[in-house]
Structure 1
Amino acid sequence: MMLFTEVRGLPVLAPEPAGSGPLGTVSSLTVDVGSGSVGHVRFRGGRFGRERALPWDAVDTIGPGAVRLRSAAAPGPVPFHHDLLGHRVLVDTGTEHGTVLDVAFDPRTARVLALFTTRGELPAERLLGLGEYALVVRAH
């Protein structure tokens, strides 16, 4: 298990033979709420420091020291994204459940395991949708 806050700021490294230094540093992870998993690794780097994204499939390993890529795939267009960290949480009954402090996920499968909010822990199975205004979760 890893936390989003542990991944943010890690260097993104090219596959093993191409040791030309980091491609950038992780700025955030994009969650696909429908599948309940991390879909993209977003990072900043390169000549102009623009944000770029790679699909989770391009990640070989993710650990406490770095995110190592599986292939030298070129970063694609940055997909639409709402950062879960700091996002308001609403229950489908209309009540508020604080804001997201952190997200636990399995670094091997990219599966989201739990959300940690200012009002406690929520299991990932309760995720319903994510929009500009809030993350919506099932009541139970």
Structure 2
Amino acid sequence: MRLFTQTRGLPVITVEEAEPLGRVESLTIDPHTRSIACLRLSGAPRHATALAWSAVEAVGRDAVIVRSPAAGPGGKGFPAHQEALGRRVLTEDGTEHGTVKDIAYDSTTGRVLTLYTALGEISGDCLLGVGGYAVVVRTRTTGQ
């Protein structure tokens, strides 16, 4: 398990050539799969500014290791990026649930595990959408 805040700012390096590609600026979530779709890079003038999660070999404490940038779609076909950190959280019925403080994800699969909000934790399975105004989550029912 890794946190978005631990991943942001890490250098991204290719596994084959050990070539630095840039740094993780943000992670784009695909709400349909409830997983990370791509890494958005900063400081990557010669390379793609986005790499598919499928190109990620490993996420470590000090770097993200990826296959060659040619291995991924390079920024095409990804969902529109909406920053989730700091965004307000609304349930599908419009009830506020604080703001997103951090997001835990599986560093192998990219699956969103937990949203940490100002008012508590929300399972990643409850994620419905990430937009410019809010992160929308399923309303929990009794026994969930």
TM-score by length of 2: 0.87
Question: 2:75 matched to 1:76?
Answer: yes
Q: In structure 2, which of residues 7, 28, 32 is the aligned counterpart of residue 30 of structure 1?
A: 28
Measure how far apart 1:78 and its partner are: 8.5
Measure how far apart 1:70 and its partner are: 2.0
- Note the aligned Cα RMSD (angstroms): 1.9
Provide the C-alpha distance between the structure 2 equivalents of 1:26 and 1:37, rounded to a whole number of angstroms: 16
Letter in 1 for 2:83: D
Kindly report which structure 2 residues correspond to 1:1-140, keeping only aligned pairs within 5 A, or say none.
1-16=1-16, 18-20=17-19, 22-47=20-45, 52-73=49-70, 75-77=74-76, 79=78, 80-140=80-140
Measure how far apart 1:45 and its partner are: 1.3
CA deviation string 1:60-101 (max 9, x = no partner): 111111011123427334942101101110011211001000
**Larger deviation: 73-82 or 95-104?**
73-82
- Cα distance 1:44–1:107, how it changes in 2: closer, same or farther (>3 A)? same
Provide the C-alpha distance between the structure 2 equivalents of 1:47 and 1:114, rounded to a whole number of angstroms: 33
TM-score by length of 1: 0.89
Tell whether the 8 Å contact from 1:4 to 1:104 is kept in structure 2 after alignment.
Answer: yes
Q: How many residues align?
A: 137
- Cα distance 1:107–1:93, how it changes in 2: closer, same or farther (>3 A)? same
- Cα distance 1:72–1:64, how it changes in 2: closer, same or farther (>3 A)? same
Provide the C-alpha distance between the structure 2 equivalents of 1:109 and 1:12, rounded to a whole number of angstroms: 17
Measure how far apart 1:51 and its partner are: 8.0
Gaps of 5+ in 1: none
**Larger deviation: 122-131 or 109-118?**
122-131
Runs of 4+ aligned structure 1 residues displaced above 6 Å come to: none
Tell whether the 8 Å contact from 1:13 to 1:69 is kept in structure 2 after alignment.
Answer: yes
Letter in 1 for 2:51: L
Tell whether the 8 Å contact from 1:129 to 1:136 is kept in structure 2 after alignment.
Answer: yes
Provide the C-alpha distance between the structure 1 equivalents of 2:69 and 2:87, rounded to a whole number of angstroms: 32
Provide the C-alpha distance between the structure 1 equivalents of 2:48 and 2:68, rounded to a whole number of angstroms: 19
3-state DSSP of counterpart to 2:49: strand
